[in-house]
Structures are given as structure tokens and as C-alpha cells.
A and B are shown apart, each in its own frame.
Chain A
Amino acid sequence: GAVVSQHPSWVICKSGTSVKIECRSLDFQATTMFWYRQFPKQSLMLMATSNEGSKATYEQGVEKDKFLINHASLTLSTLTVTSAHPEDSSFYICSAKALAGAYNEQFFGPGTRLTVL
């Protein structure tokens, strides 16, 4: 089946630093990847839609200058949390939509847990 990986699986950083999270589709090509954020005991909230070769589309309330998204190839999207602060601590999950997928099926990565001290 379709596999999506994320790296790192967890990261702890100091306030003010930047953190890059990678999302890869391992056995399929994805023109579109999505980034979600999930706080404890809450739902997955869509942050942005990442399209290969073009600028990401951000959801209302998500700062594009703080959460930089790059989708340089059909198998890789990166999310960089710039100048991270404790309130950015969360579980970040990506999903990928297959180039030739059925019914808009999306495949989720295992998530990255970010803790900002």
C-alpha cells in the first residue's frame, strides 16, 4: 500500500529556533500534500495545502511566514516552523494525495511531535 513517512518523528527545540519537518511519499507520487496540526485531545486542523512546484495555500489564521512549506518534488514536502515558541508545540501530521488515487484518498504520515522549550 501507499506509505508516507515523516522525519523526525519527534523533536525538542529551544524557543526561537527553527525546525524542519519532512514528509515523503515512499512508493507513489503526490502532487498534493496536506499539513495538519493536532493539539492534545483535539481534532486535526488543516494548516496548508502543498502543491508540487507552486506556492502553498494556507488556511485562515495560519501564518505563512512562520510555517514555511516547500514542495520541491512529487515525493517530498517540508514544513519549517520558524522562530518556534512553546505555543507551537503540537503534533504535526502530513498526508499525501496520490497522483492517480481513487476517490480523493489520502495517506497519512506517522506524525512529528514538536516540543518547544
Chain B
Amino acid sequence: GQSLEQPSEVTAVEGAIVQINCTYQTSGFYGLSWYQQHDGGAPTFLSYNALDGLEETGRFSSFLSRSDSYGYLLLQELQMKDSASYFCALNQAGTALIFGKGTTLSVSS
């Protein structure tokens, strides 16, 4: 089967940098995605890694190490609006995304 582990909660202040880690177990791997979800909303796509290394998209970056079955989402210059839940998700060929349990990020001023 597949499983993902990520911290349940992270807190930070505005302007700070936060890293949300994700470890996974799977038999078939295509890539690791990251989604953001605000309360009451649908998940929105943030980033995707299929190969080892860092992908940068504005203030958000995502890293993957396939040999370690590990990835992280890096959020820089935190803003209050970044307070949300963040999910890592496994991409597998032709199948649905399998989501982690999510990390609730709280950003304070």
C-alpha cells in the first residue's frame, strides 16, 4: 500500500521561513505533489516533483529525494494568508492522488 507522513501542525510568524516535511512509502512512484487548502475550500495545486531536487515557484519551493522517500515544501516570506492546511500527495500512473493527513500552518503577526 501507500502511506505518507507529515507533521500535523506548524506555527510561524510573518516573514519567516517554514519547511513541511513529508515521508512516504509506495510500491509505484511517479511524483510527489503539494496542495494548499484553506478552510471550506478545495485543494489548490502548489508544486510537483518527479525527479530529485528542488522546484521553485515564487515563495514556495518543493524538494524531493527519491532514494530517501522524502520531500519537503518550503514556504518563504510567510504571510498571514498562508495560514492553511498543506498536503503532500503521491502521484501514481493512471490512479488517483493519495494524500497525506495534512499539516496545519498557523502564521501569526
- A→B interface (CB under 8 Å): 32, 34, 36, 42-46, 49, 93, 95, 103-106, 108-111, 113
Q: Residue-by-residue, is B41-54 near A (CB-CB < 8 Å gives 1, otherwise 0)?
A: 11111001010000
Interfacial chain A residues near B94, Cβ < 8 Å: 32, 104
Q: B102 contacts which of A43, A104, A105, A106 (Cβ < 8 Å)? A: A43
CA distance A45 to B97 in the complex (A): 10
Interfacial chain B residues near A93, Cβ < 8 Å: 42-43
Interfacial chain A residues near B99, Cβ < 8 Å: 43-45
Q: A108 contacts which of B31, B42, B91, B93 (Cβ < 8 Å)? A: B42
**With A43-B87, A43-B102, A104-B31 given, is the CB distance from A111 to B96 under 8 Å?**
no
Q: Which residue of B lies closest to A108 (CB)?
A: B42
- B→A interface (CB under 8 Å): 30-31, 40-45, 48, 50, 87, 91-102
Whether B101 and A104, one on each chain, are in contact in the complex, defined by CB atoms closer than 8 angstroms, is no
Interfacial chain B residues near A104, Cβ < 8 Å: 30-31, 91-94
B95 to chain A, nearest CB (A): 7
**With A42-B101, A46-B98, A49-B95 given, is the CB distance from A110 to B42 under 8 Å?**
yes
CA distance A34 to B98 in the complex (A): 11
**With A103-B30, A103-B50, A106-B97 given, is the CB distance from A44 to B41 under 8 Å?**
no
Whether B43 and A108, one on each chain, are in contact in the complex, defined by CB atoms closer than 8 angstroms, is yes
